[in-house]
Amino acid sequence: MSMHNTYTQIIAGTEKYFKEAEYQRAVIGVSGGLDSAVALKLTIDAIGKENVSAIIMPEKGITSDENSSHAKALCSYFEVETYFVPINSFIIEFMPLPWKPSELALINTKSRLRTNILYNFANTRNALVIGTANKTDLSIGYGAKHGDLASDIFIIGDLYKDEVQKLAEHLELPDELIKKTPTGELYKGQSDENELGAPLKEIDAVLRQNEEGVSKEDLLSKGISPNAIHKTLRLKKENAHKTEKIPVIKAH
């Protein structure tokens, strides 16, 4: 499918979703990264910039000045209502707990705080929260449960990471966004590839082949590194609970 057809299908699907849900407004967290930039542009094209609000939620001392600057410039260029809400004070207020949170707990708390801010705005303005996770993220559960993996609609959720990049080129987004190293910036020096332990291109290749029913054994014969195959399939299995429907224990 061409990127033009992909774009047209996403816009039509988004318009239909908002119409059927009887909502007109949307809110999206904009980080300065590629995924949120593409999601913002698609949302604007689907429902109009006058119906879209963006919230930039950096963590001072962790979020790079470059990402904050890119996020502000992007929102200004697209002329959407924008709020700048650093999350540092929220983290401090959350931390007087009777236990010492683990490093993972703290990282996930940051993601969930941002989601709380988005939903606070959504409830106040009767808006839907636009998720910025792509198909790669959703397939391997790369994100925080009830954090960045929570939203009302995943507008790029059917696009692997490399497809998001191609769509960004089609949308003529700035090269500095397209070529930027993907990172959630939940701690200093974080990059998606370092955290996942494999190149994103290889992860996408494993997920595509696996979706088509190719076995783990056959994947090994396709020139993909065994490390990428192992890590991708392990993450997909271990993190399935993050995107599946919450189980309800039967009582009858």
Q: From the CB of residue 236, how many other CB atoms can be counted at a distance below 10 Å?
A: 16
Pair (235, 164) in one structural domain: no
Q: Are residues 143 and 202 in the same domain?
A: no
pLDDT digits (tens, 9 = 90+) for 103-130: 999 999 999 999 999 999 999 999 999 9
Whether residue 122 sits in one domain with residue 164: yes
Cβ atoms of 185 and 63 closer than 8 Å: yes
- Does residue 162 share a domain with residue 178? yes
**Residue 183 exposure: Cα atoms within 13 Å on the Cβ side:** 17
Do 70 and 21 reside in the same domain of the chain?
yes
Q: For 30, which DSSP code?
A: -
Q: Verify that 136 and 32 share a domain, yes or no.
A: yes
- Do 150 and 97 share a structural domain? yes
Torsion of CA 164, 166, 171, 176, to 10 degrees: 80
pLDDT in tens, 95-107: 889 999 999 999 9
State mean pLDDT over 183-209. Answer: 83
pLDDT score at 164: 97
- DSSP assigned state of 241: G
Last residue of a domain, one of 181, 196, 211: 196
* Structural domains counted in the chain: 2
Domain annotation covers residue 190: yes
Encode pLDDT of 17-71 as tens digits.
Answer: 999 999 999 999 999 999 999 999 999 999 999 999 999 999 999 999 999 999 9
Given this model, what pLDDT does residue 48 score?
Answer: 98
Same domain, 85 and 206: no
Residue of 69, 39, 205 lying closest to 130 (CA atoms): 39
Listed in sequence order, the residues at least 6 apart from 89 whose beta carbon sits closer than 8 Å to its beta carbon are none
Give me the pLDDT at residue 190, please: 72
- In this structure, is residue 249 part of a structural domain? no
Within this chain, do residues 176 and 202 fall inside the same structural domain, yes or no?
no
Read off φ and ψ for residue 127, nearest 5 degrees. Answer: -120, 165
Q: Which residue has the tokens 């990172």?
A: 183
Q: Report residue 178: phi and psi, to 5°.
A: -65, -40
Q: Would residue 120 count as lying in a domain?
A: yes
């606070």: which residue's tokens? 120
With respect to residue 250, please indicate whether it lies within any of the assigned structural domains: no
Boundaries of domain holding 137:
3-196
- DSSP assignments along 69-130, one per residue: HHHHHHHHHHT-EEEE---HHHHHHH---SS---HHHHHHHHHHHHHHHHHHHHHHHTEEEE
Give percent above pLDDT 90 in the chain.
81
For residue 252, tell me if it sits in a domain: no
Helix axes 34-47, 161-170, angle to 10 degrees: 60
pLDDT at 185: 66
Which residues pair with residue 141 across a beta bridge?
none
Regarding whether 202 and 90 lie in a shared domain, the answer is no
Q: Is residue 98 part of a domain?
A: yes
Residue 188 has pLDDT above 80, yes or no: no
Residues 65 and 174 in one domain: yes
pLDDT bin (cut points 50, 70, 90) of residue 202 is very high
Tell me the CATH number at 175: 3.40.50.620
Task: Note whether 53 and 159 are same-domain residues.
Answer: yes
Amino acid at 127: A
